[in-house]
Chains A and B, each alone.
Chain A
């Protein structure tokens, strides 16, 4: 079902806000992760991981699902379709993949937050908190989300076989 222009603009606005917001939130996460690895202040390192877990659940996860949902609505309600253009399919795959990895990684963030919340930290605990894992995951997440954003802006050409079939059907119908 095609959306009216007003609804389409509203859906587009929601999709841009959630998607770009997700990128921004990951950038903030990266800054925190770098702080967690490099800071000499133990209290700062603790604070970083104590903030990351709730921030992941309250900001990253909602934005990821909002981006996915608004993207699907936007594509199904316009002539772009969900499986007609390769760039839309790749964006969908990136979004689903990034959301799955994010949900899995919340376990690690929860574990690190538990360690950071301990009354006393051993040198092993502190070493664990200085893991580069969060930095690596944040950089990779930022990278794939920027690829998705670039695809959305440039919209490189290419119809999927399904898209070609649909296009052929529409041409046939319009000629009749």
Chain B
């Protein structure tokens, strides 16, 4: 967060914002956000619904989970 735009900045930015559709960077970030959210949910489900110590216990074979 930074200083808000001045009135001249606002009109300049706003004119460009209002004439364009959703910017490409927003689409890229949106896709990345969905992928990260899905990965997070999958990892949560794989860990039994929690992100706790059980995920880091050593299995009988000596392999870290």
Among candidates B18, B53, B56, B64, residue contacting A159 with C-beta atoms closer than 8 Å: B18
Report the minimal beta-carbon distance from A127 to chain B, rounded to whole angstroms.
6
B22 within 8 A of A: yes
Among candidates B10, B22, B29, B36, residue contacting A79 with C-beta atoms closer than 8 Å: B10
* Chain B residue contacts of A75, Cβ below 8 A: 1
In the complex formed, the residue of A with least CB distance to B23 is: A158
Task: Verify A107–B53 contact, CB threshold 8 A.
Answer: yes
Residues in chain A within 8 A of chain B (CB atoms): 8, 12, 15, 71, 74-75, 78-80, 86, 88, 90-91, 93, 97, 101, 104-105, 107-108, 110-112, 124, 127-128, 131, 133, 152-153, 155-159, 163-164, 167-168
**Besides A8-B3, A157-B17, A167-B17, 7 new A-B residue pairs in contact (Cβ under 8 A), listed by A number:** A80-B1, A80-B5, A91-B1, A112-B53, A112-B56, A158-B23, A158-B25
Interface size on B, residues (CB 8 A): 30
In the complex formed, the residue of A with least CB distance to B10 is: A79
Identify 25 residue pairs between A and B in the complex whose beta-carbon atoms are under 8 Å apart, listed by A's number.
A12-B1, A71-B1, A74-B1, A75-B1, A80-B5, A86-B23, A86-B29, A90-B33, A104-B50, A108-B53, A111-B52, A111-B56, A112-B53, A124-B62, A127-B64, A128-B58, A133-B56, A156-B25, A157-B13, A157-B20, A158-B22, A158-B23, A164-B17, A167-B17, A167-B18
In the complex formed, the residue of B with least CB distance to A127 is: B58
